[in-house]
Amino acid sequence: MLDSSFEPEGRESSVRLWPVSALLKAIADSLEARFNPVAVQGEISGFSKAASGHCYFSLKDNDGQIRCAMFRRASVLLDFTPRDGQRVELRGRLGVYEARGELQLIVESMRQAGQGTLFEQFLKLKAKLEEEGLFDTARKRDVPLMPKAIGIVTSLNAAALHDVVSTLQRRAPHVPVVIYPASVQGAPAAGELRNALLKAFERNEVAVLLLVRGGGAMEDLWAFNDEALARTIVLAPFPVISGVGHETDFTIADFCADVRAPTPTAAAELCAQPQIVWVSLLSSMATRMQNGVERQIQASSQRLDFAMSRFGRPSHFVTRQQARLTSHQQRLQHAQSTSLNRSQNRLNILETRFQQAVEQSMARQKSQLQTCSMRLELLNPQLVLQRGYAFLTTVENQSVTRVSQTKTGQALRASLMDGQVDLTVVSPRLI
């Protein structure tokens, strides 16, 4: 029953008094009758998918937004993965979520309708900076295994700060942590982030810097897509790890940083090896060193024992040395004998060869001498005279071989086989 005393005095009771649930049901019925089914276009914001498969997000434009729910039976039919900033066309039915009294759109189908404004800006800036080489992997540095100090750039009120500090305290409590506070959302956030980075660069008191923020819609993360912030990250004198948003979130800062971590907690884990790892490594190295020293001592002890055993019995040492000397003497004698025998054999061979060479040479000389004697004998003028020829000369003992060398009355001398005859030319005649 409704309490009629609620009506103000002097006012007609023409205004109906609604129970909340009945009013919401009436509004839902009006929406159903006037608008449904409805098709709407806009940009996705704050997209999330529950373990049940249901999807929840807002659809917005420059002047407004509406909450949307897409149940599993409709989401499994999607041929793409929705993401923040994406422009889509939705078809569904307007309704009222009575538990919170909120207007919502129950999405029955979704299709892509081009990139959203923010996402288009993101892609343009990404392409520009990539062309300039700000994303080049060649310039990116490795994270040090044992940093002297770790810097954090984030908001003091951010949940990400608590997660990062807790992780560092758990894994590497011995490493100092320096916080450079800055807003991570809103219009001034990009400028504050740049100033925090520049302060860290100037102070140069850390070995690695974490740029972190928790998850959110693309609008919430937009400060990390600032061009000036990207160029500042590239100027860092030490490695920068970006841990912004959830695993599926990407910002320009992620591409410019030396390392991109999927979450702030993962960023902290990347730069801080657990203390137990180093303690275990030191323990292992100490054990290996101790074992190595013990092995060296044992080996030295064995060599010392062996040396002592050798010097403890000098007679054995002398006997071995004498045996070695005897062996060397026998080998030397054998080598000398063998060398002498080889030399004697070579000498005998050379002697035989020399005698043969002398005999052969003498035989050749004798044969040549006989040949020359025969040739000389053939040239003996006496043999010519024996055949009846005479040899004429003048009284001055000059040979006469031509008639032109004689004249009448000239005295000549004829040499015959057994003597000489003096002659006088009566009358020279030519034949």
Q: Residue 425 has what DSSP assignment? A: -
Owner of token pair 């923020």: 213
160 and 245 within one domain: yes
Tokens of 271: 């730069």
Calpha distance 309→73 (Å, rounded): 91
For 32, residues 6+ apart whose C-beta sits below 8 A from its C-beta are: 93, 94, 95
Tokens of 394: 């003048």
Tokens of 431: 């034949």
Tokens of 168: 């560092």
pLDDT of residue 250 exceeding 90: no
214-248: pLDDT as tens digits:
877 777 888 899 999 999 999 999 999 998 988 77
Residue that terminates a domain, selected from 81, 115, 149:
115
pLDDT of residue 311 exceeding 70: no
261 and 175 within one domain: yes
**CA-to-CA dists, residue 287 to 280, 283, 297, 361, angstroms:** 10, 6, 15, 90
Residue that terminates a domain, selected from 218, 249, 275:
275
138 and 101 within one domain: no
> If you average pLDDT over residues 60-76, what whole number do you get?
90
The reported pLDDT for the residue numbered 26 is 82
The reported pLDDT for the residue numbered 149 is 92
**Does 223 reside within a domain?**
yes
pLDDT of residue 310 exceeding 70: no
* Lowest-pLDDT choice from 16-25, 198-207, 224-233, 306-315: 306-315
> If you average pLDDT over residues 208-215, what whole number do you get?
90
Q: Residue 246 has what DSSP assignment? A: S
The reported pLDDT for the residue numbered 270 is 87
182 and 102 within one domain: no
pLDDT of residue 213 exceeding 60: yes
Calpha distance 107→202 (Å, rounded): 52
C-alpha 367 chain-centroid distance: 88
* Lowest-pLDDT choice from 113-122, 232-241, 250-259: 113-122
* The three-state (H, E, C) secondary structure of 344-379, written as one string: HHHHHHHHHHHHHHHHHHHHHHHHHHHHHHHHHHHC
Q: Sorting pLDDT into bands at 50, 70 and 90, what band is 114?
A: low
Contact 106, 209 (CB under 8 A): no
The reported pLDDT for the residue numbered 5 is 44
Calpha distance 120→126 (Å, rounded): 10
Counted domains in the chain: 3
Calpha distance 220→234 (Å, rounded): 23
173 and 242 within one domain: yes
Q: Which residue has the higher pLDDT, 171 or 198?
A: 198
Residue that terminates a domain, selected from 216, 242, 275:
275
Average pLDDT, the chain: 84
pLDDT of residue 312 exceeding 90: no
Q: Which residue has the higher pLDDT, 248 or 366?
A: 366
The reported pLDDT for the residue numbered 419 is 85
Give residue 411's domain range: 384-424
pLDDT of residue 2 exceeding 70: no
CATH number of 217's domain: 3.40.50.280
> If you average pLDDT over residues 89-115, what whole number do you get?
84
Tokens of 390: 């005479």
Q: Which residue has the higher pLDDT, 8 or 126?
A: 126
**Does 238 reside within a domain?**
yes
Owner of token pair 């999405």: 107
pLDDT of residue 198 exceeding 90: yes
pLDDT of residue 1 exceeding 50: no
CATH number of 27's domain: 2.40.50.140
